[in-house]
Amino acid sequence: MNGVPASFAVAALLTAGMQPAAAADIKRGQELLTRDCGSCHAVGRGGDSAAKDAPAFRTLGQRYPVENLEEALGEGFMSGHPDMPEFKFDADDVGAIIAYLKSIQQR
Ligand code: HEC
């Protein structure tokens, strides 16, 4: 059978009483950031950024809600980001990245 209706899949996940979709998003977000950003930024809960001016991702939430990055991630990356190749993520990837960032923020 091809294509389980999305609403059915969601109901099944909710019935399971946990949020595996969110966990999968978080993992995917981490992978994307590690691949594309990890050469300069500290991606995880610890460690220093490789580029000394690049903020560790776990500290971004101290300056603004990480949701504010959605637009920048989806539409091509912000100016004022020196030496950085341009990144553009599709909506699913943006969601995964935001989910991951939320999961690691230090307050
Ligand atoms: C080549 C190194 C490099 C790469 C790769 C890189 N960054 Fe950065 N990033 C920096 C530096 C350096 C800064 C600090 C720039 C500044 O403060 O002007 C920065 C700043 C930022 C900021 C803070 C901007 C602000 O004003 O608050 C965010 C968010 C960010 N980067 C996200 C990302 C994401 C997401 C990726 C991967 C898709 C990425 N960066 C990849 C070097 C990099």
Task: Read off the pLDDT of each residue in 12-16 and give the average, rounded to a whole number.
Answer: 51
Is residue 14 pLDDT above 80, yes or no?
A: no
Residue having the nearest C-alpha atom to atom 26 of ligand 1: 80
pLDDT range class, residue 80, cuts 50, 70, 90: low
Taking the C-alpha atoms of residue 105 and residue 101, their distance in angstroms, rounded to an integer, is 6
pLDDT range class, residue 87, cuts 50, 70, 90: confident
Residue having the nearest C-alpha atom to atom 28 of ligand 1: 55
Task: Read off the pLDDT of each residue in 74-87 and give the average, rounded to a whole number.
Answer: 72
The rounded percent of the chain whose pLDDT value lies above 90 is 59
Q: Is the CB of 35 under 6 A from ligand 1?
A: no
pLDDT range class, residue 9, cuts 50, 70, 90: low
Q: How many CA atoms lie within 13 A of 10 on its CB side?
A: 3
Q: Is the CB of 13 under 6 A from ligand 1?
A: no
Q: Is the CB of 54 under 6 A from ligand 1?
A: yes
Between residues 6 and 77, the one the model is more confident about: 77
